[in-house]
Structure 1
Amino acid sequence: MKKILMTRPLPDAVQDAARGAFDVTVRPGTDPLSDAELRAALRDFDGVLPTLGDAFSREVFDDVPDPRCRILANFGVGYNHIDVDAAQAVGVMVTNTPGAVTDATADIAMTLMLMSTRRAGEGERMVRAGNWPGWHPTQMLGLHLTGKIVGIVGMGRIGQAIARRCHFGFDMQVCYHSRSPKSLKYEATPVQSLKALAQVVDVLVIAVPGGAETHHLIDADVLDAMQDHAHLINISRGDVVDETALIRALEQKTIGGAGLDVYEHEPHVPQALRALDNVVLLPHLGTAALEVRTSMGLMAVENLTAFFEGKAPPNPV
């Protein structure tokens, strides 16, 4: 029976499914694999089910040039923590779990949009601190979301799910920036320039994959192009946004606010960011629903099972 390492505890249904097919070791810690653990995972197991933060870099593969491990069945759609080219060079396949995360992540984007534009986090802190003086007509005035212009950066599965919610649920005008125009069942305007998109939207939502190509895609120039009432929403990867430039824009109030579910150096969130009232901060809740995490885990197990049965895994990277 093939030996599999599950690098974090996953829902019981996922562990049960994996144990039905493999000899499974579940690492009890919830932190990312250490340098030593990364190398041991490649040496000591036939397959690994890693997740965000398990940094299988080129250096790790260079140190284990002939790994026992033949597959990294990533738990999650994003895989920028894995050097795929380096993995493939030593014969290690990489898979992921697209589809299972789409709607849950889009829902969190909408949560952040509403919380940021309607100042919900700020209002809750006021009530919890006992500082609410009572209702009055000009208190906590935010941005009305219905009918506004949303700009979506990245129109893959998640970007399109966000766009559908904005169009059909909030009667928003959808504009987007992506590598190619999309054929959609609702009106959406492609914008070739990211800065041009930033200039015209009321809400800018980031839904691109992480990696070298998108590192600091949202930089000071893009933030400077945004209108002073506009809000930035990031549900992609933290390093897609230049966090220092974002903090400056929020401090100087050159944008209306931000909603973040991811951070440039997770789990570290700068004190300068935590001190601001015009930003909503969530602890990477994108897929944090039991049924979603179970679906993701079962998809990863399906990839493992197919691979070791000599079949093509459903979700190769």
Structure 2
Amino acid sequence: MKKILVTRNLLPENEKRVLDLFNATLNKEDKVLSPEEVISLSKDCDGILCVGGNKFDKEIISKLSSSVKIIANYAVGYNNVDVDAAEERGIAVTNTPEVLTDATADISILLLLGASRRAYEGRKHAEAQSWNWSTNFLMGKQMSNKKLGILGMGRIGRAVAQRARGFGMEIHYHNRNKLSSDLELGAIYHKDAKSLFVESEFLSINCPATAETTNLLNEETIKFLPDKAVVANAARGDIIDDRAMIQAMKSGKIFALGLDVYNGEPRINKEYLKLDNLFLLPHLGSSTKRTRIDMGDRAIDNLEVFFLGKKPKDQVN
């Protein structure tokens, strides 16, 4: 029976399965393991099942035991793992795509709605029990029949577009490649982010974190957005330059921002917290029971297939 390290707790349904299939070392305290703990606990393991909060940079990977042959990442993204360094060590890296598409797309729409309809400010007024209704009280922006720009038209981006069509929104998108007409479903393709931003009264960020997308929304590119645009990020925090975004929110260039992800999670730039036009969530994109079970099963599937001597379909290197 192959031995694996599981770096954080899984849901009971997943833990039962992983214990049935493998000699698994579980993180009973469910704390974030230090690099030293990961290296020590995995020293005689054949594989590691990790979550996105565990960093596997080049230095950590270089110190892993030679027995470790696979890192199964419990996330659709895998920017927490240095894939090139893993490949140099002969370590396969997998992720869990597809299974969190709907849950994350739902959160993207929630971020757009929460930000545009000033839900955070509304909650504060309701709790204070001192608000008075008037015709201009907490006036927000309506999504109906507006232009939605989607940065990253993969599975999640397309699911966001599907939901946004229910609001009668005109869909624009930027992707590495233009989609086929049966996937576009009438969405308008932009070859570059700049031309997308110009059309985006609402902008949903759903692209992966790469060297090219880091700080893609910055002081210069924010200028291309229409005045009073609403932005939502359910992808990765480092796609937004925080300093530039905070300034744009203060100036009114950005009407409101919805964040489910941000730089330095769980810490956040303190200047954000001084702003009322921020709708903030603690990385809830995949946080439904069905989705989390499916993510665990997908990671376990990848381990099982790999140890049968086959290439997992979710291998990214």
TM-score (norm 1): 0.95
- What is the deviation of 1:264? 1.1
- What is the deviation of 1:28? 2.8
Amino acid at match of 1:151: G
Amino acid at match of 2:159: A
Matched, 1:179 2:176: yes
- What is the deviation of 1:161? 0.7
- What is the deviation of 1:129? 2.4
Matched, 1:118 2:117: yes
Specify the alignment match of 2:264 in structure 1.
265
Distance 2:264 2:275 in 1: 18
Matched, 1:19 2:19: yes
Amino acid at match of 1:174: I
Alignment of 1:1-317 (within 5 A): 1-64=1-64, 67-133=66-132, 135-167=133-165, 169-183=166-180, 184=183, 186-317=185-316
- Could you list the per-position Cα deviations for residues 173-197 of structure 1 after superposition, in whole angstroms to 9, with x for gaps in the alignment? 0001111111225211111231222
Of 20-29 and 78-87, deviating more is 20-29
Distance 2:197 2:261 in 1: 20
- Could you list the per-position Cα deviations for residues 240-298 of structure 1 after superposition, in whole angstroms to 9, with x for gaps in the alignment? 11111111111121111110000111111122101110010100000001110000001
Q: Is the 8 A contact 2:70 2:91 kept in 1?
A: yes
Amino acid at match of 2:197: A
In structure 2, the residue corresponding to 1:60 is in which secondary structure?
helix
Distance 2:81 2:306 in 1: 18
Name the CA shift for 1:165/1:40 in 2 (closer, same or farther; >3 Å). Answer: same
Q: Is the 8 A contact 1:41 1:48 kept in 2?
A: no
Amino acid at match of 1:212: A
- Could you list the per-position Cα deviations for residues 194-240 of structure 1 after superposition, in whole angstroms to 9, with x for gaps in the alignment? 12221222111111111322211111112122122211110110011
Q: Is the 8 A contact 1:42 1:67 kept in 2?
A: no
Q: Is the 8 A contact 1:97 1:299 kept in 2?
A: yes
Of 194-203 and 100-109, deviating more is 194-203
Amino acid at match of 1:248: Q
Distance 1:300 1:166 in 2: 30
- Could you list the per-position Cα deviations for residues 38-85 of structure 1 after superposition, in whole angstroms to 9, with x for gaps in the alignment? 322552311111011211111112234x52111111101000000011
Structure 2 gap segments, 5+ residues each: none
Amino acid at match of 1:140: L
- What is the deviation of 1:109? 0.1
In structure 2, the residue corresponding to 1:73 is in which secondary structure?
strand
Name the CA shift for 1:207/1:250 in 2 (closer, same or farther; >3 Å). Answer: same
Amino acid at match of 1:314: K
Distance 1:47 1:27 in 2: 15
- What is the deviation of 1:29? 4.0
Paired residues, number:
314
Aligned-pair identity (%): 40
Q: Is the 8 A contact 2:172 2:190 kept in 1?
A: yes
Structure 1 gap segments, 5+ residues each: none
- What is the deviation of 1:314? 2.8
Q: Is the 8 A contact 1:302 1:314 kept in 2?
A: no
Of 33-42 and 47-56, deviating more is 33-42
Q: Is the 8 A contact 2:199 2:225 kept in 1?
A: yes
Distance 1:215 1:204 in 2: 17
In structure 2, the residue corresponding to 1:94 is in which secondary structure?
strand
Q: Is the 8 A contact 2:92 2:315 kept in 1?
A: yes
TM-score (norm 2): 0.95
Amino acid at match of 2:106: D
Q: Is the 8 A contact 2:49 2:299 kept in 1?
A: yes
Distance 1:217 1:161 in 2: 22
RMSD: 1.3
